[in-house]
Amino acid sequence: MAKLSLWLIASVALMESAIAPASAQTLPAGPSVAAGAVSIATPSGTSVIIDQTSRNAVINWNSFSIGSGNSVAINNRPEKAGKETAG
């Protein structure tokens, strides 16, 4: 009887892991800056800070998800970008 109970517990655990959806990404992952001046920091396991200092920027991500209790701050600061002049 003990072997049957152990087998049932193991079977249920395997079924739950197979049925349960994959955990959602809690924070954006795999950034690649394709253009512009950008810094990306992860000061804690629950936050990402994106600082853009150029007028335009492009960031490609492997995945971009924000889980419950997490945060992403995007700071666009074009005033820090170089001054453009028309001539």
Residue at 69 is within a domain: yes
What pLDDT shows up at residue 7?
43
**Residue 30 belongs to some domain of the structure:** yes
Residue 65 is which amino acid?
S
Tens of pLDDT, residues 54-79 = 989 999 999 999 999 999 999 987 66
Q: Tell me, yes or no, whether 11 lies in a domain.
A: no
Q: What is the spatial distance between Cα 39 and Cα 32, in angstroms, rounded to a whole number?
A: 10
Q: Answer whether residue 2 is part of any domain.
A: no
* pLDDT the model gives residue 83: 52
How confident is the model over 11-36, as a mean pLDDT? 66
**87 part of a folded domain:** no
Domain that holds residue 30: 23-80
Return the pLDDT at 77.
78
End-to-end CA distance of the chain: 88
Average pLDDT, the chain: 75
Residue 12 forms part of a structural domain: no
In a domain, 40, yes or no: yes
Residue 72 lies in a domain: yes
* Domains contained in the chain, number: 1
Distance CA(56)–CA(37), nearest Å, equals 8
